[in-house]
Amino acid sequence: MKMKKKFFHYIVLLVSVSLVLSACKKDDDPAPTPVATSPTAGLSLLSEAYAIGAGTKVEVWAQASYFTGYNKLYLFLKDSVSGAAVKNATIQLHPMMDMGTMMHSAPFENPASVLSSDGLYPCAVVFLMSSMGGTWTLDATITNNVNGLTGMASFNVSVADLSVSRIKSFISSTSSETLFVSLVKPATPVVGMNDLEVVIHKKINMGMEFPADSSLTVEISPLMVSMGHGSPNNVNPVHMGMGHYTGAVNYTMSGDWQINFTFKDGGTIANNTTFFETIVP
């Protein structure tokens, strides 16, 4: 009987020691190392080149391939030797279309800041036409403020037309200027209220410059094409800066819609025939 008791106590002691050692081991285990998120997560690499003279590699990333309209781009700058992200740089874009017999530029938005926490610099280019009509190049002059060097990266880009256009142009009846209207939002429309954003640029200097336009009053009137009705509670876009006008559009049901625009210059209609088509799933 005593033998059984001793054996029992021995087993209990052994289990207790095992539990203590197990707990200590768990306490001593280091916490899992967090996985670093890439600054380009969710984006696709479209182009890459070296800014010769700046000691910098330049990568162009975006959510979609180049298309006619407003392209939100992200330039990822790396030191050409170490591969480390360049977090202090001045960037100047210069898009150009060569049509053989003539050339023209396009609207663009340089990065808003020279500083980047991860080497990624948001910018934008509005491609006015597809590469079917000529050859697009996108030059980016880079001043690497870390090493003080400047160079230019040049990209040959292939721009495709979308099945539903996201860029329109008109000649103002008040100023005779050519203006380009690019639909930024909604990119993927849904039934109900959608953020609406357009950006407007005007063509000057024979198409070599496209400054943002902030002078217009914009009104919208959505139309459900197949059923011939509109929708309530829409918000006319107002200028928020850099030619960007924001409002809201209400798609009350699935189907084929178009947003009809009226542009006014000082109370006088400059254009009222521009519209964007969309399919709401």
- Report DSSP letters for 100-141, one per residue: SS-EE---EE--S-SB-SSSEEEEEEEE-S-GGGSEEEEEEE
Q: In angstroms, how far is CA 29 from the centroid of its own chain? A: 42
Residue 158 has pLDDT above 60, yes or no: yes
The confidence score (pLDDT) of residue 32 equals: 65
Percentage above 90 pLDDT, the chain = 86
Q: Tens of pLDDT along 212-246?
A: 999 999 999 999 999 999 999 999 999 999 999 99
Q: How far apart are CA 182 and CA 199, in angstroms?
A: 5
More confident position, 143 or 10: 143
Residue 33 has pLDDT above 80, yes or no: no
Q: How far apart are CA 134 and CA 159, in angstroms?
A: 10
* Residue-range domain boundaries for the chain: 44-157, 167-280
More confident position, 191 or 1: 191
Residue 26 has pLDDT above 80, yes or no: no
Residue 164 has pLDDT above 90, yes or no: yes
Both tokens of residue 205?
């200097």
Instruction: Write the CATH number of the domain with boundaries 44-157.
Output: 2.60.40.1940
More confident position, 6 or 110: 110
Tell me the mean pLDDT in the region 170-189.
98
Lowest mean pLDDT among 8-22, 130-144, 196-210: 8-22
Q: How many other CB atoms are found less than 10 A from the CB of residue 84?
A: 11
Answer whether 246's CB lies under 8 Å from 195's CB. yes
Return the HEC string of 17-45.
HHHHHHHHHHHHCCCCCCCCCCCCCCCEE
Binning the chain into helix, strand and coil, the percentages to the nearest 5 are 10, 55, 35
The confidence score (pLDDT) of residue 197 equals: 99
Percentage above 70 pLDDT, the chain = 87
Q: How far apart are CA 76 and CA 90, in angstroms?
A: 13
- CA separation (Å) from 273 to 136, 139, 238? 29, 35, 19
- CA separation (Å) from 234 to 3, 184, 244, 272? 88, 17, 18, 17
The confidence score (pLDDT) of residue 7 equals: 44
Q: How far apart are CA 129 and CA 121, in angstroms?
A: 25
Q: Do domains 44-157 and 167-280 have the same CATH topology?
A: yes
Bridging pattern class, strands 69-79 and 89-98: unpaired
Whose structure tokens read 């202090």?
Answer: 88
Mean pLDDT estimate for the chain: 92
Q: How far apart are CA 212 and CA 74, in angstroms?
A: 20
Lowest mean pLDDT among 14-28, 133-147, 148-162: 14-28
Tell me the mean pLDDT in the region 166-170.
98
The confidence score (pLDDT) of residue 28 equals: 54
Tell me the mean pLDDT in the region 44-73.
98
CATH superfamily of 167-280: Immunoglobulins (2.60.40.10)
Tell me the mean pLDDT in the region 111-126.
98
The confidence score (pLDDT) of residue 36 equals: 67
Q: How confident is the model at residue 37 (pLDDT cuts 50, 70, 90)?
A: confident
Answer whether 77's CB lies under 8 Å from 58's CB. yes
Answer whether 210's CB lies under 8 Å from 201's CB. yes
The confidence score (pLDDT) of residue 29 equals: 54
The confidence score (pLDDT) of residue 90 equals: 98
The confidence score (pLDDT) of residue 3 equals: 44
